[in-house]
Every structure is written in C-alpha cells, then in structure tokens.
A = this chain, B = another copy of it.
Amino acid sequence: MEKLKLDDLQLKVMQVLWREGEVGVSGIQEQLKAKEDRELAITTLNTVLQRLYKRGIVNYRKEGRQYIYRAEVTEKETQSSMASSLIDKLFKGKSSVLVNHLLESSAFDQDELEDLKRKIAAAQQKKKDNE
C-alpha cells in the first residue's frame, strides 16, 4: 500500500466517481454542481482528472471522443490510507489515541456512543473467535 494523498478538489472529484462508477467529465461537473455546490470549469476538471490519471488513481475508457473516467482506488482504501496517515503524523501512530481525542472533545452524541459500544463488543468477539 503506497501512500495515497488526495487534496480537496481531487477528493471531491473522486467522491463523484465513487458514487457514480463511471462518468464523463461533464457528468462530474454536473454532480459537483448539484451535490457539492461547486461550479467549476470543464477545463479545470479535465486538468484534475488528467493529473489523477497520471498518478494512476483514475482510469478511463473512450466512448466516441469522450473520456469516461472511473476510480482506480476504492473509497475504503482512500479512507484507510488518509486516516492512517493522519494518525501517524498526529496521533502517535495509534488509532486509539485519535479516538481518545475524539471522545475528549465530545465528538459523539449519545446514540453514537451507544452504537460504538456495540461495535466494540462485536470487534472483541471477533478477535476472540479468530483465536
């Protein structure tokens, strides 16, 4: 797993691809306008996509003379990669340090806490089963 780093706009674009599967550039433009409220020139998106393509993060097929792009990394991979990068850089490399920080800053409401408790129990169970 190489380090995958996506900046803001790149992420927005990737999110469209993750949602849609395959999209042409103008489709991406529409989606961004609709869901993210970002009005970007087509040429801007073209540039972004081309750069992502050079890095192997997206790929495309041609349909007529249109480029239909698709993501080459999954959302989960990206989440893992970027989360662990943050954890490494700022939370001593330990997820638990991050979570403690979040707990301290009251980042969760009651329902979420309850839910987490359940999920943790499940994770513990799973660990036990794997032994």
Q: Which residues of A contact B (CB under 8 A)?
A: 8, 11, 76, 78-80, 82-84, 86, 89-91, 94-96, 98-103, 105-108, 110, 112-117, 119-121, 123-124, 127
- The 8 Å CB contact of A102, one of B95, B100, B110, B112, is B95
Tell me whether chain A's interface is mostly helix, strand or loop, or mixed: helix
Assembled-state Cα–Cα distance A81/B58 (Å): 29
Known: A8-B89, A83-B101, A90-B79. A123 touches B106 (CB 8 A): yes
Least Cβ distance of A102 to chain B in Å? 5
Please tell me how many copies of the chain the complex holds.
2
- The 8 Å CB contact of A80, one of B99, B101, B117, is B101
Least Cβ distance of A57 to chain B in Å? 15
> Could you tell me if B103 and A123 are in contact, using CB atoms closer than 8 angstroms?
yes
Q: Which 9 A-B residue pairings sit nearest by Cβ, starting from the closest? A: A95-B107, A96-B112, A95-B102, A103-B123, A113-B124, A103-B119, A86-B86, A79-B90, A117-B120
